[in-house]
Structure formats: structure tokens, C-alpha cells
């Protein structure tokens, strides 16, 4: 009887955890390359469409691809966005220090991960988006300029700083300084260099203190760039009830047809 009661209590705990809305686990990748890199896959729900509406490759920030990102990816997948989430820290640490070898090594390693993720999610002919949060947002816009995936239509940038680089430093983790070393880049310059037809969505918490360069970034993007504000949010964007609807609106805008001129 005691054993049966223990089992029932355990079942109740599991049921409670599910009821509390924790994000379901991502789809385990079949490709060993994706498994080794720790890429997480979230299949688009295909109730109303024969294919995903879009493919999104999303970079986590300087602390990885953690719980709020998983829940956000789950919600985007539910809206038809086949999503691959990536903790890029190990890849960035393995890159050579010298420039331009660092840039070319990053491109050589990330392209196969993006292509394999897209194939496993059945999104080979869907429009492509790249995105990320904080450092991940900065890496995403760099990738969109220097090694854009096929069919790229937009960049979904959550809380970028004014400058970025393809590395993780103590200053990144502590949010104490913008990178200025050789190989670092201004986000406004990268937005200005986006290919014609590629849109840029800047998602920013109203209380985020890293938005000083937003006016320059939006000016660089012209009518292809738009800011989406999240009320009562800071830099981390952990409160999904506030964040998720705004991020989805930004993603929808990236996919929307351009207005006639």
C-alpha cells in the first residue's frame, strides 16, 4: 500500500508539473551533427498548412539557450514557425582567436547546423529567419549579412547592444562594456548592409538600458526596420506573458508582404 501511495504521489507531482505549463521537450535531432552541437528542434504545428510558415534559427545569449527561450520556441512553433534553438557558447570558444580566421571558421561551422536543422524540420522551401537574444541577437544580424541562409527574409533581434562580436567574454556575461576589439562590429552597420528585401525587427523591453543605439539602428534599416516595444520588460525578457505576443507580432511582420510603393 505504501509503495502504491508513493507511486500515486509521484504521478501527482508529474501531472502538476505538466499542468503548470512547462515547455514540452524539443524534438530530438536525428542528425549526429545536431546532437553533438546541442541544437534543439521545435516542429511547427501543421494543422492548417502543408509546410512550416517559416524556418527560424535562434541563437541563445551568453548564458546559453535556457528555459524562457524553450518556451518561446514552443509558442512560435505553435504559430507555424519551425524553430531551431542553439547554445552557441561552445562553438564560439572553439574558434581561433585571430581575425579573419575567426569569422570564416564560424561561418564554416554554423552553416551545416542551419542546413541540417532546416532539413530535419521539413522547412527546406520555407522562408528563413535568423534571430537571437542579446549577444545572440548581435550574432544573428552579423550572420544575416555575411552568411545568410537561403531564402532569408528577416532578422528577429531581441535586446541587442550597440556592438557585437563572435565571442563570449566576461564583459558580455557581466554586461559591463560594449566590445571594441578587432573583429567587433556595430549593429547599425550590419543592419545597413542587409541585402535588399531582408527586414529587421528590433524587440526591446521598455526598461532595457541597452537601447541607446536603437535610433541609429532603425535609421540604418530605413523602412525595412521596425522596433517592437515590450511594456514593463527589461533586458532579460524572461516574462513570457509579456514577451511572447510581441515577439510573435515581430515575426509576423518579418513575413508580411512589403506594401506597394
Cα separation, 231 vs 246, whole angstroms: 10
Over 50: is that where the pLDDT of 11 sits? no
Summarised one tens digit per residue, pLDDT across range 172-209 is 888 778 898 989 999 999 999 999 999 999 999 999 99
Domain presence at residue 10: no
Q: Which long-range contacts (CB under 8 A, 24 or more apart) does 23-30 make?
A: 23/67, 23/70, 23/71, 23/73, 23/74, 24/74, 26/70, 26/73, 26/85, 27/120, 29/116, 29/117, 29/120, 30/120
Domain presence at residue 13: no
Number of domains in the chain: 1
Domain presence at residue 151: yes
Cα separation, 149 vs 216, whole angstroms: 25
Domain presence at residue 213: yes
Residue 4: band (very low, low, confident or very high) from pLDDT cuts 50, 70, 90: very low
What pLDDT, on the 0 to 100 scale, is given for residue 51?
Answer: 83
Domain presence at residue 88: yes
For the full predicted model, state whether its pTM sits above 0.85: yes
How many Cβ atoms sit within 10 Å of the Cβ of residue 127? 19
- DSSP E strands: which ranges in 87-194? 128-133, 152-158, 163-164, 185-186
At 213, which helix (H) or strand (E)?
Answer: none
The neighbouring-strand residues paired with 157 are 132, 202
Q: Residue holding cell 542551419?
A: 114
Domain presence at residue 39: yes
Mean pLDDT of all residues belonging to the chain = 88
At 207, is the secondary structure helix, strand, or coil? coil
- CATH code (residue 247): 3.40.50.1820
Domain presence at residue 192: yes
Summarised one tens digit per residue, pLDDT across range 89-103 is 999 999 999 989 999
Domain presence at residue 244: yes
Least confident of 28-32, 56-60, 239-243: 239-243
Per-range mean pLDDT, top range of 24-28, 48-52, 228-232: 228-232
Query: What domain range is 199 assigned to?
Result: 32-255
Summarised one tens digit per residue, pLDDT across range 114-136 is 999 999 999 999 999 999 999 99
CA atoms within 13 A on the CB side of 251: 30
**At residue 190, what are phi and psi to the nearest 5 degrees?**
-70, -40
How many Cβ atoms sit within 10 Å of the Cβ of residue 128? 20
Amino acid at each position: 500500500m505504501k509503495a502504491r501511495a508513493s507511486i500515486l504521489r509521484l504521478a501527482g507531482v508529474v501531472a502538476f508539473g505538466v499542468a503548470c505549463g512547462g515547455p514540452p521537450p524539443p524534438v530530438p535531432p536525428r542528425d549526429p551533427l545536431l546532437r553533438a552541437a546541442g541544437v534543439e528542434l521545435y516542429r511547427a504545428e501543421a494543422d492548417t498548412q502543408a509546410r512550416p510558415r517559416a524556418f527560424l534559427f535562434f541563437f541563445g545569449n551568453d548564458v546559453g539557450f535556457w528555459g524562457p527561450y524553450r518556451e518561446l520556441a514552443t509558442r512560435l512553433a505553435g504559430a507555424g514557425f519551425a524553430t531551431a534553438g542553439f547554445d552557441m557558447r561552445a562553438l564560439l570558444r572553439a574558434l581561433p582567436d585571430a581575425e579573419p580566421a575567426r569569422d570564416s571558421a564560424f561561418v564554416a561551422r554554423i552553416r551545416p547546423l542551419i542546413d541540417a536543422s532546416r532539413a530535419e524540420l521539413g522547412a527546406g522551401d520555407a522562408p528563413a529567419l535568423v534571430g537571437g537574444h542579446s549577444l545572440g541577437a548581435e550574432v544573428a544580424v552579423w550572420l544575416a549579412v555575411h552568411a545568410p541562409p537561403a531564402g532569408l527574409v528577416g532578422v528577429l533581434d531581441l535586446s541587442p547592444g550597440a556592438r557585437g562580436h563572435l565571442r563570449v567574454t566576461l564583459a558580455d556575461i557581466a554586461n559591463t562594456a560594449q566590445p571594441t576589439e578587432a573583429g567587433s562590429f556595430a549593429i547599425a552597420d550590419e543592419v545597413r548592409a542587409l541585402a535588399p528585401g531582408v527586414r529587421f525587427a528590433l524587440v526591446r523591453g521598455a526598461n532595457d538600458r541597452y537601447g541607446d543605439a536603437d535610433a541609429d539602428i532603425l535609421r540604418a534599416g530605413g523602412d525595412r526596420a521596425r522596433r517592437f516595444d515590450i511594456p514593463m520588460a527589461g533586458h532579460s525578457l524572461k516574462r513570457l506573458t509579456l514577451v511572447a505576443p510581441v515577439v510573435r507580432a515581430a515575426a509576423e511582420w518579418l513575413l508580411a508582404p512589403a506594401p506597394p510603393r
